[in-house]
Amino acid sequence: MTDLRSPEPAVASQPAGPARASAGRPGLGARLGAGVNGALLPATGLLVAFAVWWLTARLELVHTTTLPTPGSVLTAFTDKPDKMLGHTGDTLREILLGFALSSVAGILLGLSLAASRTVERMFTPLLVAVNAVPKITLGPLLVVALGWGQKPILTMVFLLCFFPIVLSTATGLTTTPADLAELARSLNASWWQAFRKVRLPAALPQIFVGLKVAMPLAAIGAVIGEFQAGESGLGYVVTQYAGIGDTATAWAAIMLVALVSILLYSALVLAERLALPWVRETTSTR
């Protein structure tokens, strides 16, 4: 009888364990190169933006009273660093607190929408309607209702961040891959086991998308709230100094808002990579 087996074991043609591991993962040089590019490319983009800004101001394409040069903005910051950093701390606290409140409430409501079709039909039109209202128009009403200070500012942050977090949470929990859901059913997993082991882990990447969308919106909400009801913060600085014609200081405050947004967004991206290491390993990379 003819022997249909291979003359050599199939594993003999496979590379050794370390060789296989190195073939599946980029080498140290590639990782270092990616790290350098990860820092160099954003810095290059910022340098290009500042060069365009400097040329625009230098050639007076926009009047210098409206758009000062980067050097004058830096000087405005260095003339009063303690004051500017103090206002930055106030805005940062408002961003983080408002973002935390909207994250907790948004994820809980997203869970409710995903768990009950009745709740989804009941509240989805209301959420869409609230999200469609331009939030800046609510500023004066919030001041009347809540007074000056942090309450209307935090409410503004909450309103801007809430909807994308709710939407991403509900979407992630209702779009579990069919093969994973079928696997949980085949193992006779309870509802809680399927949720904890399958649905929630599968939804976490989508939830982080909503959080990353909401983080810059939190900074926008804090500044808008400070425009309307702030007694401190970077938005308060912009209104006060722009009102007296000191646009360099106003632009310094705007640059600090941008810097805070970049740092918070980067921290959130890092948290996602640490919390969800399997995402980068199981999805295609560019």
DSSP letters, 38-91, are: HHHHHHHHHHHHHHHHHHHHHTTSS-TTTS--HHHHHHHHHHSHHHHHHHHHHH
200, 180 contact by CB (below 8 A): no
- This prediction has a pTM of 0.79
φ/ψ of residue 234, rounded to 5? -70, -35
Listed residue (107, 116, 82) closest to 162, CA to CA: 107
Query: What does each of the 286 residues of the chain score in pLDDT, given as a tens digit?
Result: 444 444 444 444 444 444 444 444 555 555 545 555 566 887 888 888 878 888 887 877 877 777 888 888 888 888 888 899 999 999 999 999 999 999 999 999 999 998 888 888 888 888 888 888 888 888 888 888 888 888 899 999 999 999 999 999 999 888 877 777 777 777 777 777 777 788 888 889 999 999 999 999 999 999 999 988 878 889 999 999 888 888 889 999 999 999 999 999 999 999 999 988 877 766 655 5
**For residues 135 and 159, is the Cβ–Cβ distance under 8 A?**
yes
Pair 161, 98: CB distance under 8 Å: yes
CA atoms within 13 A on the CB side of 186: 6
d(CA 95, CA 272): 19
